[in-house]
Chain A
Amino acid sequence: MQTDTAIYAEGLGKAYRSHTALHGIDLAVPAGSVLGVLGPNGAGKTTTVRILATLLEPTSGRAFVAGHDVVRQSREVRRRIGLAGQYAAVDEMLTGRENMVLLGRLLRLGKRGSAHRAAQLLDRFGLTEAADRPVSTYSGGMRRRLDLATCVIGEPEVLFLDEPTTGLDPSSRVILWDIVRSLVAEGVTLLLTTQYLEEADQLADRIAVIDSGRVIAEGTPDALKRNVGGERLEVTVARPEMLADAAAALAMLGLGNEPAVDHTESRVSVQLRRGLDDVAVAVAALRDKGVTTIDFELHKPSLDDVFFDLTQRDRSAAAPALAPAYQGAQR
């Protein structure tokens, strides 16, 4: 185990009487980086987080968080982590401020220290106005923000966020992302689980895809998307005789794959690698060739695509699709 690895798990397994939730999870998160754990419901994301946050004991394997064993030194781990579960773990009947002060006192910041820290964080998380209202009057987004604020009272080294934006509207989601980014900028190591590919893409340095209690792929978001196929550009031309020119224009992008031509639909499609940059080049090339387009569509790979692709590959090949590269952050 490397000293700058903030979260390390080796062969983590969790078996219950009736089923096995985890079949040997391996993870390594370098200090100060963000790992997105992506997976469908029931994949084992929450179980993994609960083991790493000392709430569950694994039935096999071992894990270290902030340099301490999660089973044998759980108290030391607890002094260094913050956890936000799937449901905002705040007291509905207390005000936002009272919630913060209570947890501050439990972290032994003292009454005055807790009050000071509470005011500071409420302000930072945009909750000052609502600070003295009971949490039961808060919106979903405010609750999540308060939940996140309570997690960082003790200035944790490692933060676990279990589906932090599930059930939030898009604007609350963006606000929460900004807060998470600012915490990461301060040096917190973050493990975040999500069902949304976009969220992992936005926040994570590396992504681990979990399915049925196993890590089926691990890598940077770009690498993962490249493997799934990335975005696909579809160009429908005005007249069938333009198809050849369109295909030639898209072939000039040098994407390493031949444009596919669909004669019945008068459509040419190609896999992209660099998103909007590729689109800009494609538009220019099509214009140079004098191709008139009647439709120009960009298809993003969905999480469904990722899973379909990865699980298919998982079954067809014994070895994982992406070699797990655990040698520190790649930036």
Chain B
Amino acid sequence: MTTATAGSHRQTAPPRGGTGGLRGYTGDTLALAGRHLTHLRRSPGRLVLVTMNPLVMLIAIGYLFRDSMNIPGNVAYEDFIMAGIAIQVGLTGVGPTAIGVAMDLRNGLVDRFRSMPIASSTVLIGRTFSDLFVGAVSLTVVCSVGFAVGWRPHNGPLQTLAGFGVLLAFVYTMLWVGILLGTVMKNVEAIDGSGALVLIVLSFLSNAYVVVSGLPGWLQPVAEWNPVTSVITTTRRLWGNDPAGSTGSGFPADHPGLVTAIMLALLLTVSVAGSLRSFRRAVGN
């Protein structure tokens, strides 16, 4: 075989892949999301973990501690904690998402994707699609159990749905925080610990289980400005579950919807930009 015939033979086959515009980009993302959904089907542990964690909190706090909790106004404790339980779905997902990203970086699969003519962002976005699906399923299960034990939204179906919309936006933002963690830290054991820390710090330093005024004085500003507090308050108000004063005082307490929108947008922007940057770099070294 000579060099010349080899060259001309090769040139007859058109090179594969390409930009293909938005349709191609969406197709790549969906194909990669399909990969994660197949993982989920083979090993549904992630779905179970993300669902069980909030359910355990619902039972532990909603049932065991309900009589010890002092909520101002005439809101039932089941109503009060539902939003706080629901945000756990978003916080619990951070660790597993980060670990999934770090594992992909470790086993060379990302190198394969990167050596192909696809945008590297599709690899990460594909993952968020399937993880958002996990979040939605687990939110549904958690709120159904909540409904069974007495939680009731009081502002009609539209506002109830809007509350779920806020929660899903929070879940999606936290997924990107998880991706950022995974691409930056890369060490699975370290991520495992950090994920648990994020979960505990962000949920306990908020109004998830208690009213902000019930926290030690110096922690109250921290809890007031904790984005989780704003998300919970916004959801509670949409569901008609918010007793007066649960958020403390100040700007975030007066404008929870606005603060939620700004904080989630900021967090999402920083996480997406940071993730893409460190993802490209992680595979580049």
Please give, as numbers and ranges, the residues of chain B lying within 8 Å of A32 by CB-CB distance: 1-3, 5-7, 10
Q: Mark A78-99, 1 if CB is under 8 A from B, else 0.
A: 1111110111111111100010
Interface residue count for A (Cβ, 8 Å)? 51
- Please provide the chain B residues from 31 to 47 with a CB less than 8 Å away from any CB of chain A in the complex: 31-32, 34-35, 38-39, 42-43
Residue of A nearest to B31 (CB): A105
> In the complex, A150→B285 CA distance in Å?
23
Inter-chain contact A31/B111, CB cutoff 8 Å: no
Binds B, one of A48-56, A232-240, A269-277, A282-290: A48-56
Interface residues of A in 79-131 (CB under 8 A from B): 79-83, 85-94, 98, 102-103, 105-109
Q: B15: which of A80, A90, A187 is its contact (CB, 8 Å)?
A: A80
Main SS of the interface on chain B?
helix
Asked if A78 and B108 make an inter-chain contact with CB atoms under 8 angstroms apart, the answer reads no
CB-based contact A187/B115 at 8 Å: no
List the A side residues contacting B284 at CB < 8 Å: 55-57
Contact assessment for A102 and B34 in the assembled complex, using a CB-CB cutoff below 8 Å? yes
A78 lies within 8 A of B116 (CB)? yes
The one of A31, A53, A86, A107 in contact with B17, judged by C-beta atoms closer than 8 angstroms, is A107
B24 (CB) vs chain A CBs: closest residue: A108
**A152–B35 alpha-carbon span in the complex (Å):** 20
Whether, in the assembled complex, A329 has its beta carbon less than 8 Å from a beta carbon of chain B, the answer is yes
The number of residues on chain B lying at the interface, defined by a beta carbon within 8 Å of a beta carbon of chain A, is 41
CB contacts (< 8 Å) of A92 on chain B: these are 107
Interface membership of chain B positions 6-28, coded 1 if the CB is closer than 8 angstroms to chain A and 0 otherwise:
11011001011111100010011
Main secondary structure of the interface of A (DSSP, over half): loop
Name A83's closest neighbour in chain B (CB-CB): B115
Chain B residues with CB under 8 Å of chain A are 1-7, 9-10, 13, 15-20, 24, 27-28, 31-32, 34-35, 38-39, 42-43, 107-109, 111-118, 283-285
| B209 → chain A closest CB, angstroms | 37
A70 to chain B, nearest CB (A): 11
Closest residue of chain A to B41 (Cβ to Cβ) is A93
Q: Which residue of A lies closest to B40 (CB)?
A: A93
Does B3 contact A89, Cβ atoms closer than 8 Å?
A: no
Q: Which residue in chain A gives the minimum CB-CB distance to B30?
A: A105
Name the contact of A328 in the complex, choosing from B3, B15, B35, B117 (C-beta under 8 A): B3
- Would you call B117 and A107 a contact (CB within 8 A)? yes
B20 to chain A, nearest CB (A): 6
Contact bitstring A134-176, B, C-beta under 8 A = 1, else 0:
1000000000000000100111010000000000000000000
